[in-house]
A = this chain, B = another copy of it.
Amino acid sequence: MTTSEAVENLSVDACWELLRSTTVGRLAVQTANGPDIFPINIAVDGGTIVFRSAEGTKVSAALNGPVALEVDGRNSDTDHAWSVVVKGHTQRIHKSEEVLATVDLPLVPWHKGDKPVFLRVQPRQVTGRRFPIAGPEAWWTPISEAPVTSED
């Protein structure tokens, strides 16, 4: 993806700060039928991200392959938006002492459905970008710039 001067790559520290600032993320997993994506409530626990879920195909997919977790937001004061992506692997939290540590985290479930499974994303890579939100002048594509070719 090309970037313009307007896009700022964030430091890993800044990424973690943003991860800690939010409780909702989206998890992308690979399934046999292609990628799937679902919103989750997250909490940072040390250098990992913890979330709860119910058993099911999505949890299986998360446990059986790499995942990508994205959080984003916008700062209306500065007209900036940001996006942080964590890539890694997911592990089930087994041990009671681990869960006891986890339940102290602000894992606010978005809905009350039964979510007995605690999962932990171990990051392999954490990246983030911050960029000014485009103004109305950028809403429209000038016809002269519209792609008219048919190359692939």
Contacts and interface: CB of A to CB of B under 8 A. Distances in A.
The number of times this chain is found in the oligomer is 2
Most buried by B among A38, A72, A96, A113: A113
A111 to B, nearest CB: 3
B38 A35 contact: no
Give the interface size class of chain A.
35 or more
Contact of A57 (B1, B69, B94, B111): B1
A34 B66 contact: yes
B110 A150 contact: no
A2 B36 contact: no
A96 to B, nearest CB: 4
B99 A111 contact: no
Nearest 6 pairs between A and B by C-beta? A34-B66, A111-B131, A28-B28, A1-B56, A4-B113, A28-B35
